[in-house]
Structure formats: C-alpha cells, structure tokens
Structure 1
Amino acid sequence: MIIVRPIKKSDLKALYRIAEDSGHGFTSLPVNEKLLQQRIKHAEESFAKDVKEAGNEGYLFVMEDTETGEVVGTSGIEAAVGLDDAFYHYHLGKVVHSSRELNIYNTVEILSLCNDYTGASEICTLFLSDSHRKNNNGRFLSRFRFLFIAEHKERFSDTIIAEMRGISDENGNSPFWQWLEEHFFSMDFPTADYLTGIGKKVFIAELMPKYPIYVSLLSKEAQAVIDKVHPQTVPALRLLEAEGFARRGYVDIFDGGPTVESHVNNIRTVNHSKRCQVIIDEVQSTDNYIICNSKVADFRALQTRLSLRETAKQVVISQAVADALMVSEGDWVRLVAN
C-alpha cells in the first residue's frame, strides 16, 4: 500500500537520496545532511505544534511503500513564507513611453523586485521517484496537501502559491540567470540556487538590481524563458491549473519560472472534499478516492476504493484501509474523488 505521512527523523537517509535525485533548480532540498536534519526537525516541531494562525511552520511529508518500507517521494507545505527571511520575486509589469507630438506610443515590459507574497502559504518540495511514477501517485502526492489544508485551515494563509521550476539545462545552467550573473552576480546558477536553499539569501538584497529591469535589455535567450516552466514541471503546472491556480505575473528571480496562486476557497480539491464518518466493512464500489484522517502529527493519506453514503455523511472503507489511516469506526475522515 502507498501512504503519505509526516516525515520523521529516521527518514533522513531517504530524504538525502531524494535531494540528490531531484537535481538543479530544486531549491527547497539542498544536498546537505545538516540542513536536511534541520528541515526534518522543523517539520516534526511544526506537526506537534498547537497552531491558531499561520506562522513559520513547515510541513514536510513523505510517500511510503508499506510493502517495502521504502520512502519513494516527498511533498511539503510552508505555512507562511517570508516571515523570517525575505521572500523575493520579480513582478512582470509594463510601462508606457509615449509622445503625442511625435505620435509614438511604446509599451515596454519590466521586471520589478518585490516581496508581495510575504505571509502566503506555499506548496513545495514535490518529488516522486521514477519507480513509482504510475497509478496516479504523482497526482496523489500533490493533491493530498489540499485535503490537509482543508482539514486544518487555521494553520494556513488564505493565499496559496506554488513556484514552478523554470528553464535550465542538465548542467544547471539557466539562460535567465546567466544574464543576471554576467551583469550583477559573478556566481553561477547552481551556486546561487544552493545558497538560497541553505538560507543564505542576504546576497540577493545586496547584489540584485534595486530598480526595475527592462525586459528588452535582457539577452534574447533570457527573454525567451521568462514565465516558462521546465519540461519536467509541465504536468505539475497543468495539475495546479486544473485545481484553480493561475499566474499573476510573478516569476522566480533565478530561473524566471512562473509562480501560480489561488485563494484557498477557490482550490478545486478544497471545495469538492467532504468530511465523513467511517464505517468499516467490505467495499463493493470501484470508485477511487484520495482519503485522509483528521489528525496532524499522526496524519495519514492514501488512494483507495470506497463506498460513499453522501446523504448520511458516511464512508465505507475496508479494515486494511482503516488500519493504514489509523482510524476506527465513527472517526471522521476527509476525502475527494481521484
């Protein structure tokens, strides 16, 4: 059985392997054992914390194959970004240069450095091993987070964002960053990406141009990748767009990839999810759902067949599923059609 649960200290080795496999551009998982230990510790503290409103909590989950005990993926939610460290974006806007006398009217795109998403919740750190990219596991690993958010809304902001990985090659070279590097940073993209991942972001404020950048002044290669996603990230973007996420003109300061956002109440999975009481019995239905318990530190989620008694707000699940979810008859669960 494939389940999702909160990360724990013993998952360090698996998380380190995932960090190595994830490659360049995956800022939230640096290949650094000490920092990954800190990330796990912070997650454990966040799950154990009694929360009334979104703060600096970071919830990191893992996907586990219970037959082998192997951790095959990870997925996370940051409750409120930018409260401890500045959270930077470029906003893609326009300025108009016009002259009535000369009958000239030009619209020019500009990139302005901003912290507009400070305090927003961020879904992040999504990675699934090649061996388990099947049976809708990727969709499950993304969508279960919205069930967790729906069940524990007090822990999150009304605005939910996701940063999409931008264009870079197999060596980690980003056309967008190469222009910034040449003119401002003298530091390659993997190094800048790594420093951000380990929390050393002060160099951004110190070296990043303070004034808006005219897009037309960037190299043609840099212009071409602004607001574009890495080919491997296209499925993740499409899934989020289907959930109701949209672009608002914000792009990553390193690779130019888009950030998408949605109000929590406009997210499809949040809206369509239902809370039901558990009945344990044989399941006759073939309908497939994502289902989770209502816990935090002992959170569990999985995909399964179940029978929904919508009018009575009841759901019939098997004993094996109940055991995996750590629920008993009469407990409340949250679910959504897969």
Structure 2
Amino acid sequence: MLVVRPITPQDYAALYTCAVESGHGFTSLPVDETLLRRRIARAQEAFAREQVSEPGEEGYLFVMEDTDTGEVVGCSGIEAAVGLTDAFYHYRLGKIIHHSKELDIYNALETLTLCNDYTGVSELCTLFLREPFRKNMNGRVLSRFRMLFMAEFRHRFSKIAIAEMRGVSDENGESPFWGWLQQHFFSMDFTQADYLTGIGEKTFVAELMPQLPIYVKLLPPEAQAVIGKVHENTRPALKMLESEGFRCRGYVDIFDAGPTVEVEVANIKSVRDSQKLPVKIGSTDNTKARYIVCNTQVANFRAIQRTLNVYSDHVVIDAEAAQALQVQEGDYVRFVTLTGAN
C-alpha cells in the first residue's frame, strides 16, 4: 500500500534520489546534501509544533512510501507562508499604453515587472513522483492530499494558496526566457541561477535583475513564446490544479517564465468537497468508490487512497486501511472522492 506521511531523517537518501531524478528547473529540490537535510529538519520542526495560531515559517514535507517494500516513491510539500525572511520574486504581467492623439497612434504594450506580491501566501510545492509509480492515480493522490491537510488545519495556512509551475526548458535544462536575461543582465546559465535560488542564495536576483518594467516586445520571439507556458512534464499537474480552481493571474517565474497559479484555499474543490466523519472498521467489499482519506493528526499524519463506505454519520474503512492511517474505531478521518485521470 502507498501511504503518505511526514518525512523523517531516514528518508534522506530517497529524497536525494528524487532530487536527482526531478531534473533541471525543479528549484525546490536542489541536489545538495546540506540543503536537503536542512529541509528535512525544518519539516520535522513544523510537524512537531502543536501550538500554531497563524501561518509562519513552517515548511511541511511529506513522502509517499510503499509499505510493502519500504521504498519512498515520491514527495510533496506545503510552505505555510512564503517570503517572510527571504524575498519571494515574480514577474507580474501588465500593460502600458502609448497613445498619441495628434498622430492617431495607440499601442497597448505588455510589460514584465519584478515584484514580491505573493509574500505571506501558502505554497504547494516539491511535488515529484518517480516514473515507475506514475499510474493508478498515485500522482493525483500525492498532490491532492495536501488540500485535505490544509482543510483540516486551516489556521496553519494563508487564505491564498499558490503553486509555481515549471516553465519551458530544453533537454539540456536551458530556458529560452532565461537566455535573454543571461545575455543582457547575468553571466551565469539557467541551471546555475536556478540552483542558487533553490539553495536560498537569492541576493543576486535583487542585485542583477532589471528593476524597471521590461517590454515583452523587446524580447526575442523564442522568449516571448514561452511566457506563461509550462514544461511538457508539468501539464498534467497544471490540469489537475486547474480542476481544483487554481488560475493564473498574470504572475510568472523570473527564470523560466512558467506560470504561477493561485486560489483562495476555501474555494479549492477538494477543500469544499471534503468530509470529516468518525470511523467504523469493517468490510468495504460492496463498493468500488475510491477516496483520498487521511487522519486528523499533524505529527503522525497519514493519507492513502482506498474504497470507503460513506454514511451520513460515519465512514466504514477496512482493517488494513485503519492500520495504515493509524486510526481506531471512533477516530475521525477526512476524505474526498478520488476521480479523474492521473
């Protein structure tokens, strides 16, 4: 059975493997032992905090484990509030009007402006599922369970949630958008800039990024073409988030111009549709309806996909599922229907 749980120090080797396999442009999983171990330690601190009244520096990192083999097959995270200590940069797409009444000329020109508008919001991040396990809706579970966690522990998160989508880059990790910035403002390639950001070295952004709005039309056609577009491997993740209510509001990544999507947490479909009921343990053989289901604990959080029998005042789960979720009869679980393609 595949179970989602909080990461532990013993998962370091598996997390490092995920970082290597995730490839270029996956900023939140740098191939750096010190940073990955620090990320694990920070997650442990977040899960251990019992008294949290508002979102802060907490970074929750989970892994999906195959309990039959003990193998970690993927990871997924939530940042409670971004940009509180390190600046959190985006480009905001806007327009500037150039108009001459006398000459009868009117031009509406798109611009990119460096900003920190998403400071303090929650972020869904670090979603990676290893290739052999990208089936049976595992990817959907690994992403959507976070919405149940946020629904159960609303006070730990902002009213707004975002997700940064990986932008377009080639097989060598080169971004057409970054190519223009590199030529005119930086002396480093995309992979180096992306890596520095991933390990928290962001000072160079403030020092070297153009501070005035950039006219999109001044960029080469190949750079213009990828603004707001996602990497081929990221399209399923974007489609899933859009089905949950996430939308792009004109913000893109400063390196590869991939879109950032946002939503009010209360309006996330899985948050709205989730239910919370006490458990009875028994047979679920008479149903084929599958759900994402989690317990209601923080430090001992568990989530799985499973068939359930749902009634008005309780939910029936089988003994194996109860053991995986570490719940007993009478304990509460939160759940939502698992539908759609992976």
Band of TM-score, shorter chain? over 0.9
Does residue 316 of structure 2 align to residue 305 of structure 1? Answer: no
Partner of 2:242: 241
Partner of 1:57: 58
Deviation at 1:23, TM superposition (A): 0.3
In structure 2, the residue corresponding to 1:185 is in which secondary structure?
coil
* 2:259 counterpart letter in structure 1: P
Distance 2:74 2:122 in 1: 21
Percent of aligned pairs with the same amino acid:
64
Deviation at 1:285, TM superposition (A): 1.4
Q: Residues 142-198 of structure 1, C-alpha deviation per residue, up to 9 Å, x if partnerless? A: 000000000000000000000000000111100000000000011100000000000
In structure 2, the residue corresponding to 1:102 is in which secondary structure?
coil
* 2:280 counterpart letter in structure 1: I
Distance 2:329 2:279 in 1: 5
Q: Residues 257-293 of structure 1, C-alpha deviation per residue, up to 9 Å, x if partnerless? A: 0000000111000000000100001112111000000
Partner of 1:126: 127
Q: TM-score, normalised by structure 1?
A: 0.99
Distance 1:170 1:197 in 2: 20
Partner of 2:143: 142
In structure 1, the residue corresponding to 2:333 is in which secondary structure?
strand
Distance 2:94 2:122 in 1: 23
Alignment of 1:314-329 (within 5 A): 314-329=314-329
* 1:196 counterpart letter in structure 2: T
Does residue 213 of structure 2 align to residue 212 of structure 1? Answer: yes
Partner of 2:16: 16
Partner of 2:197: 196
* 2:326 counterpart letter in structure 1: M
CA RMSD of aligned residues (A): 0.5
Alignment of 1:228-267 (within 5 A): 228-267=229-268
Deviation at 1:113, TM superposition (A): 0.3
Question: Residue 292 of structure 1: which of 291, 294, 298 is its match?
Answer: 294
Deviation at 1:219, TM superposition (A): 1.0
Partner of 2:30: 30
* 2:296 counterpart letter in structure 1: S
Distance 1:287 1:178 in 2: 48
Distance 1:231 1:321 in 2: 35
Distance 2:260 2:19 in 1: 22
Deviation at 1:107, TM superposition (A): 0.4
Q: Residues 208-246 of structure 1, C-alpha deviation per residue, up to 9 Å, x if partnerless? A: 001000001111110010000001000000000000000
Aligned length: 336
Partner of 2:169: 168
Structure 2 residue ranges without an equivalent (≥5): none
Deviation at 1:254, TM superposition (A): 0.2
In structure 2, the residue corresponding to 1:56 is in which secondary structure?
coil
Q: Residues 125-152 of structure 1, C-alpha deviation per residue, up to 9 Å, x if partnerless? A: 0000111001000000000000000000
* 1:19 counterpart letter in structure 2: A
In structure 2, the residue corresponding to 1:127 is in which secondary structure?
strand
Deviation at 1:34, TM superposition (A): 1.1
In structure 2, the residue corresponding to 1:170 is in which secondary structure?
coil
Distance 1:34 1:111 in 2: 34
Distance 1:319 1:129 in 2: 28
Q: TM-score, normalised by structure 2?
A: 0.98
Distance 1:98 1:35 in 2: 50
Q: Residues 1-37 of structure 1, C-alpha deviation per residue, up to 9 Å, x if partnerless? A: 0110000000000000000000000000110111100
In structure 2, the residue corresponding to 1:171 is in which secondary structure?
coil
Deviation at 1:297, TM superposition (A): 0.6
Distance 2:250 2:34 in 1: 35
